[in-house]
Amino acid sequence: MVVEGVSKSFGDFRALNNVSLEIKKGEFFSLLGPSGCGKTTLLRIIAGFEHPDFGAVTFDGSDVLPLPPNQRQANTVFQNYALFPHLTVFENVAFSMRIKRVSKSEIEAKVNEYLHLVQLEGHAHKKPNQLSGGQKQRVAIARALINEPRVLLLDEPLSALDAKLRQHMLIELDQIHDKIGITFIYVTHDQQEALSVSDRLAVMNQGDVLQIGTPHEIYESPATDFAARFIGETNLFDATVVKAEKMNQPSLPNMDTGVAEYMVELEIPELGRIQVTTVDEVQPGQTVSFTIRPEKIVITKDRPATKRADINLFQGTVDEPIYSGFQTKFYVKVVNKTLIRVIKQHANYSDEGPDILWKDSVYLSWSANDGYIVEVRR
């Protein structure tokens, strides 16, 4: 499925700005972005409920823009389920087949097959108001899939569910996707959801697609400050390049980000000098943004023994520890009162555990390979 140069305005408000995407057959693809960034608008254009001002949408190479929604073989699962309240689960799922005048026995077999797929066999006779939120959502999924669409469009389908059930349904959705193998386009503003199920995702903001990639690519090499901040938690600083040297021994190739060939020294006003490796060359004097993920920073009470030049080391004071069982998040105040977020996993019996406390004096360290230059400004 290809979306090419799609723009859409409502009055003088630009909801989508020259959006292009190529979604592979059978892919679980997510559109991720904050509220109002244009996700639903893009989904509605793909489904045929909305027409773009400019651009093209093709399925398997053929233009679908002239086709009405019911001829596009793209079915949508909405956030609010949109079930028929007076019909049973069975009849809700059977609805589109009844219209097509398919034989009774065929309908029965098909409906049962899809109720089985979404694990609702025992609920066929119930009305929607006798179902839980998760069950309603499964009916909506079965109802969309029974048409055997080429693409299943899911617009924040789990947002009405509580956190535990959302996790559970997400896994089920992933399993359904594996079983039937059609393309899923999944809209969400929840970065954890998007990272955990997608083959690839597009990060959107204010009508623009900022980056397309695998969850790993987007987490490890965000293309913009917005993506770095929006996906996961991070420490982000403006910096100036002081020195950039080609390394004799480039660091190990990373599947997504390539081989880091340059060792760069940055001046960060709030921190001082740090070392970071990069794939692309940068020039002294350039301003960049630098990020280091909280889980990549090692926090210790004792000064680390290593004195390697490529290890960045800071001394600081714990400003706020936030313990949550499997991990602790620390805000650590370092030079110039700059706060750095650090996440320490409590891994196993040899782990020191939550022994680092409020106001403790600590050392933070991370390797030059773990930092990342996000944007080069000039």
Binding site for Mg ion (CB under 5 A): 40
With beta carbons less than 8 A apart as the criterion, state whether 304 and 334 touch: no
Task: Output 40 or 367, the one with its CB closest to Mg ion.
Answer: 40
Task: Output 112 or 192, the one with its CB closest to Mg ion.
Answer: 192
Task: Output 6 or 107, the one with its CB closest to Mg ion.
Answer: 6
What sign does the CA torsion over 60, 65, 66, 68 have?
positive
With beta carbons less than 8 A apart as the criterion, state whether 116 and 144 touch: no
Task: Output 40 or 76, the one with its CB closest to Mg ion.
Answer: 40
Partner interacting with residue 200 (select from Mg ion, ligand ATP, none; CB below 5-8 Å by kind): none
Task: Output 35 or 103, the one with its CB closest to Mg ion.
Answer: 35
30 is an interface residue for ligand ATP by CB under 6 A? no
Output the smallest distance, CB 203 to Mg ion, in A: 15
β-pairing, 208-213 vs 235-246, is unpaired
What mask, x for binding ligand ATP by CB under 6 A, covers residues 244 to 283?
----------------------------------------
Q: Which residue carries 């692309």 as its tokens?
A: 280
List 40, 198, 277, 289, residue binding ligand ATP (CB under 6 A) = 40
Task: Output 198 or 277, the one with its CB closest to Mg ion.
Answer: 198
189 is an interface residue for ligand ATP by CB under 6 A? yes
Residue 373 has, within 13 A of its CA and on its CB side, a CA count of 29
Question: Which residues, including other chains, have CB under 8 Å from residue 200's CB and lie 6 or more apart?
Answer: 27, 29, 30, 212, 213, 214, 215
> Which element (helix H / strand E) includes 55?
strand 54-59
36 is an interface residue for ligand ATP by CB under 6 A? yes
Count of positions (residues) in the chain: 378
* C-alpha span between 178 and 376 (Å, rounded): 39
Q: In what order do the strands lie in the sheet with 74-77?
A: 74-77, 151-155, 183-188, 28-32, 200-205, 208-213
Output the smallest distance, CB 236 to ligand ATP, in A: 23
List 1, 15, 195, 276, residue binding ligand ATP (CB under 6 A) = 15
User: Which residue lies nearest Mg ion, judged by its C-beta?
Assistant: 40
List 30, 41, 135, 289, residue binding ligand ATP (CB under 6 A) = 41
With beta carbons less than 8 A apart as the criterion, state whether 234 and 293 touch: yes
Q: Which listed range, 8-16, 282-290, 298-306, 360-368, lies at the site for ligand ATP (CB under 6 A)?
A: 8-16
Interface with ligand ATP (CB under 6 A): 10, 13, 15, 33, 35-41, 189
